A = this chain, B = another copy of it.
Amino acid sequence: MSIVYKRPEVFTDEYKKYCGGCGHGIINRLIGEIMEEENLVDKAVLIWPIGCSVYADKYFKTDSICALHGRAPAVGTGVKRSCPEDLVVVYQGDGDMVSEGMAEIMHAGIRGEKFTVVFVNNSIYGMTGGQMAPTTLMDQVTTTTPYGRKDENTGHPVNMAEIISGLNGCYYSERVTVNSPANIRKTKAAIKKAFKYQMEGKGLSFVEVLSPCPTGWKVKPLQALKWIDDVVTKQYPLGVFKDCGQEEK
């Protein structure tokens, strides 16, 4: 007998507060799997944002810090500078990063902080009930864009993986998604690579994950996965925007 898949040991028994079908669950799981596979549990400090993933500290048997809304990169800077040998994971939502925390993430990129950012882009504010994020798609309906996002008040969606890749301090930037088994595999590979770069002492490693928020989008989970293919990836192309590890070869 062999076990093909078993819930990672690094998870606690805590019931997860995510909605059914939420991408956070998948991404959390991948992080757990990688930490376990790569023997990083002992070295990890996970930094969680304010957003739907704020309770994730309760899901992992690792050191965890919940940062204030938008400030995870600042807290991560403090942690990583203090413990340069640790695996510091700065986990952020799109409201958290692109709106409240724009200054923090830009400057983490500018300084080239040597931690990994896992950026969960679900193009909406999940936790607070479905308001617009800067990443919300044009014409997307949210509680603060009830007639769809329009140029006039809110401008256009912001492509963070591209912007961050343009900063000198960024070592690696890739956009992935978790809407199919194959894409989930690629997401895992991307996060794994980011962790590897971090443990090698490279600059900022940044993984943007397009993630379904069925509740915020007001659709069934499977429809959410499809919407990622049909609409979300059109604004946010998947791919590697920078990989200094690759270039070095």
The answer to whether A156 has its CB under 8 Å from any CB of chain B is yes
Min C-beta distance of A134 to chain B, whole Å = 6
Q: Output the nearest chain B residue to A106 by Cβ-Cβ distance.
A: B102
The answer to whether A212 has its CB under 8 Å from any CB of chain B is no
**Contact digits for A115-158, partner B, Cβ 8 Å, 1 yes 0 no:** 00000000000000000001000000000000000010111101
B110 touches A156 (CB 8 A): yes
The answer to whether A107 has its CB under 8 Å from any CB of chain B is yes
A155 touches B134 (CB 8 A): no
- Give the contact stretch, choosing among A50-58, A162-170, A172-180: A162-170
Q: Output the nearest chain B residue to A111 by Cβ-Cβ distance.
A: B155
Size of chain A's interface in residues, with CB distance under 8 A? Answer: 22
Contact partner of A112 (CB less than 8 A), chosen from B99, B101, B155, B168, is: B155
Q: Report chain B residues within 8 Å CB of A163.
A: 163, 166
Complex Cα distance, B163 from A168, in Å, reads: 12
The answer to whether A199 has its CB under 8 Å from any CB of chain B is no
B102 touches A151 (CB 8 A): no
Q: Give the residue among A101, A107, A153 with the most B Cβ atoms within 10 A.
A: A107
Complex Cα distance, B167 from A103, in Å, reads: 16
Which parts of A75-128 form the interface with B (CB within 8 Å)? Answer: 99, 101-103, 106-107, 109-112
Complex Cα distance, B159 from A167, in Å, reads: 9
Contact partner of A156 (CB less than 8 A), chosen from B99, B153, B154, B168, is: B168
Complex Cα distance, B164 from A166, in Å, reads: 12
Contact partner of A107 (CB less than 8 A), chosen from B109, B110, B112, B134, is: B134
Q: Report chain B residues within 8 Å CB of A111.
A: 153-155
Q: Report chain B residues within 8 Å CB of A106.
A: 102, 106
Q: Output the nearest chain B residue to A170 by Cβ-Cβ distance.
A: B155
